[in-house]
Structure 1
Amino acid sequence: MYGDTRARLRAELDEIEAAGLTKRERQLTTPQSAHVGVATAARGSGGTEEALNFCANNYLGLADHPDVLAAARNALDEWGFGMASVRFICGTQTQHTALERALADYLGTDDAILFSSCFDANGGVFEVLFGAEDAIISDELNHASIIDGVRLSKARRYRYRNADMADLEARLQEAADARSRVIVTDGVFSMDGYLAPLPEICDLAERYDAMVLVDDSHAVGFVGPNGGGTPEHFGVVDRVDIVTGTLGKALGGASGGYVAGPQEVVDLLRQRARPYLFSNAVAPSVVAGSLAALEIARDSSAARERLVANTALFRSLMTEAGFDLLPGEHPITPVMFPGEDGAREAGRIADAMLAEGVYVIPFSFPVVPRGKARIRVQLSAAHSEDDVRRCVDAFVRARG
């Protein structure tokens, strides 16, 4: 029976390859860091080489921070390897609730609830909170986890053009008869590095009696005066109702996600959210390491300043070199290669840069729209000024 299916799948894979869209996984031979080892077996040598890493979500450089590693290492002895249970059976340690309390305090919410990932957090929140009488109004460029989570809800679904407030208002007017309305947006759009216009979104939410939910995965820990994310950056912490996010980026880079918000929201998610009720609790070492990472992030003003400086330097040097960058201030800095051949060109340049000792990854359809291929460079506080300059020099040489 599999024969026909095999042929169909192989034909689809061949089409992806012919279009230059195949995504190949390079293997690291070291811990995640600003400098990593990359296996060269895929290119025939079977060895390893050092590379500057400019494609990780390791914004504060905490993935290999000694205090985070120590906390995780100690947790193996103190708390064990795994929970072997979901939270409500016997999968809740006191450190799980301590991390939830610390996240809520950091984000300025009543409470928080941990999930295995932010994908699961977004997969569980909408079905529980919004039913057929409600309306969800979502930005068209929201993360795939939001899109999938919204699909699980029976609520009426509306989509507005990216950061287009006139279009958002039109959708809110269409949903005026709903029992409740929620505007859903990424705090930072991960493929573009754009920040959502939260003040304007909150203004419309108040005008049309809507809630606001922000996925702030690419902001918490380093955006805002204290790293509290885009609501803090824009001064709208008290106007955003629910925040979802991850522990897998700036806050240590391991795994786990969360929903932070009003007490009733968190309490109901504990009773009804399927990814929470039917998934193992976050591993003890991850909880302990994430707690340490969160504590470091709270006091990381120097690291945040380095990250801002690295981002500004990279954008300035790349612009001087004539590269096409999407505008912005976020450490996500897309270097664009538009057009039909853009995906191939982005792939060629990424391969050439790895040969120069700089690790970047091209993004093409379906991760980004057709004709808008890019190399998404991500700066870190762990990069030195010399690292940033070496990256730009590698871009210039690879371009030829």
Structure 2
Amino acid sequence: MMDTHEALAELASQGLLRTRRVVAGPQGPYLEVEDSQLLSFCSNDYLGLANHPEIVAAATTALHKYGMGAAASPLISGHSAAQEQLEHDLAAFCGQPAALSFSNGYMANLGVIGALVGVGDTVVVDRLSHASLIDGARLSGASLKVFPHNDAARLEQVLARCSSPRKLVVSDAVFSMDGDAAPLANLAAVCARHDAWLLVDDAHGLGVLGPQGRGSLAAAGVQAPHVLLMGTLGKAAGVAGAFIAGESGLLAWIMQRARTYMFSTANPPALAAATSASLSIIVREEWRRQRLRQLATQLRTALTGLPWSLLPSDTAIQPLIVGDNHLARRLSQRLRTEGLWVPAICPPTVPKGTARLRISLSALHTDSHISQLAEALRRAAQEHHA
């Protein structure tokens, strides 16, 4: 039996021990964290919608109408009128024929992959794909193959050698730790040539990219029967949950076979109503996406000359590569003493030797917030090299 105390001590010695911090009050540019107010660069609330009054009001109204819990799986009695409306709204928002709601993105990816492929089939994943895609591929029983990050040419070579009856390619649209985007048009074209499905995880692009925030596939001009979109609703949308969107017949099959859908209690109706309200705001308030682009440009200019480099990213995710696990955690702690919360991300979440500060931007950040972060990082750099 494993000695958990010893194992935890070993994680701590490697700078890999994770901790939780208690947050009080709503999400926003500032968070109340363990009796301290911290300027937050750690949230995925990219558009600043998590505490939007219209979304809160929609949830409150729905609570009075539906109560709190859905009380059953969607295939029993848990599929509410609010959830039905949300699925129509999600399909229209993404420009897809149909949508199916899931409890969260992790469960969506596990369920969809397992519904589409199994023993004797093949799943091909981008090397930097999210853990839920990799776990879904492993749990499906299909053969798992990996192609180099964002390399459509190598993907074509893998598929050309594959003789499986069913083939599924999976990739993030925006990679959560690097902030770069997948070449979706190229990936979709390769999959079409080799009769493979393409599952795109747009957790970090939905709401932020594309016309009216309709996501990475819309930004790339990709819509095809063999392409499926997975979107999460707890990031730019500011609520919670996830969905799959795509061709109606394919989604009907997934509803019959995705175990994480079939055997999970449905999300609360009030959450569905809040999400529908959020989609309306995302479409009409273009200034939030414009602001994110301005902030990313401002940050990259402000951090020029540091001993650590930002990865190339045009998204709300701006990773500052530090390298050493302990240094990344020290820098994060150093920033916290100055009232800033910037998380250190270490292996196995990112490859060994690429520990980083993951700076997440929100449309509600101000110019002075960016300046405050940049000045604190410069002071930390001076101390590090003193």
Matched, 1:94 2:81: yes
Which residue of the partner structure matches residue 279 of structure 2?
Answer: 294
From 359, 368, 378, the counterpart of 2:360: 378
From 102, 111, 115, the counterpart of 1:128: 115
Alpha-carbon distance in 1 for matches of 2:378, 2:105? 36
**Equivalent residue letter for 1:33:** G
Would you say the 8 A contact 2:172–2:202 is kept in 1?
Answer: yes
Would you say the 8 A contact 2:308–2:322 is kept in 1?
Answer: no
Structure 1 residues 312 and 32: alpha-carbon distance in aligned structure 2, compared to 1, 3 A threshold? same
Would you say the 8 A contact 1:115–1:258 is kept in 2?
Answer: yes
**Equivalent residue letter for 2:338:** E
**Equivalent residue letter for 2:209:** V
Structure 1 residues 61 and 298: alpha-carbon distance in aligned structure 2, compared to 1, 3 A threshold? same
Identity of counterpart residues, as a percentage? 36
Query: 2:211 aligns to what SS in structure 1?
Result: coil
Matched, 1:81 2:68: yes
Quote the RMSD (CA, aligned, Å).
1.5
Alpha-carbon distance in 2 for matches of 1:257, 1:56? 18
**Equivalent residue letter for 1:303:** R
Which residue of the partner structure matches residue 173 of structure 2?
Answer: 187
String of CA shifts for 1:12-37, please: whole Å, max 9, x gaps: 11100111211111221221111111
TM-score by length of 2: 0.95
TM-score by length of 1: 0.92
Query: 1:22 aligns to what SS in structure 2?
Result: coil
Query: 2:309 aligns to what SS in structure 1?
Result: coil
Alpha-carbon distance in 1 for matches of 2:216, 2:208? 9
Matched, 1:226 2:212: yes
Deviation at 1:322, TM superposition (A): 4.8
Structure 1 range deviating more: 355-364 or 157-166: 157-166
Matched, 1:9 2:4: yes
Which residue of the partner structure matches residue 244 of structure 1?
Answer: 230
Which residue of the partner structure matches residue 389 of structure 1?
Answer: 371
List 4+ stretches of structure 1 deviating above 6 A. Answer: none
Deviation at 1:156, TM superposition (A): 2.6
Structure 2 gaps of 5+ residues are none
Which residue of the partner structure matches residue 71 of structure 1?
Answer: 58
Would you say the 8 A contact 2:292–2:316 is kept in 1?
Answer: yes
Deviation at 1:163, TM superposition (A): 0.9
Alpha-carbon distance in 1 for matches of 2:43, 2:299? 16
Alpha-carbon distance in 2 for matches of 1:362, 1:133? 40
String of CA shifts for 1:170-223, please: whole Å, max 9, x gaps: 211121x22232221100111101100112212212222222210000000111
Query: 1:131 aligns to what SS in structure 2?
Result: coil
Matched, 1:365 2:347: yes
Matched, 1:318 2:303: yes
Structure 1 range deviating more: 71-80 or 152-161: 152-161
Alpha-carbon distance in 2 for matches of 1:321, 1:295? 40
Query: 1:327 aligns to what SS in structure 2?
Result: coil
From 34, 39, 63, the counterpart of 2:29: 34
Which residue of the partner structure matches residue 251 of structure 2?
Answer: 266
Would you say the 8 A contact 1:231–1:240 is kept in 2?
Answer: no
Alpha-carbon distance in 1 for matches of 2:74, 2:194? 37
